[in-house]
Amino acid sequence: MGMMLLQMNDTEKEGDGARAIINSEVLLLMFRSTSRSKKYAFEMLRLISKVKCQMTEQMAARTVYGRFVNWKGKYILSHNTELYMAHMYNAYNTVYYRKLSKVS
Q: What is the pTM of this model?
A: 0.63
Domain ranges of the chain: 2-103
Residue 41's identity, in one-letter code, is A
Q: What is the pLDDT of residues 41-64, one digit of tens each?
A: 998 899 899 999 998 999 888 888
CA neighbor of 80 nearest in space, from 14, 2, 27: 14
Strands 68-70 and 78-80 come out as antiparallel
Q: What is the pLDDT of residues 81-91, one digit of tens each?
A: 666 677 677 77
pLDDT over 70 (residue 23):
yes
Q: Within a 10 A sphere around the Cβ of 24, how many other Cβ atoms?
A: 17
- H/E stretch holding 49: helix 38-49
| CA triple 75-16-81, angle to 5 deg | 85
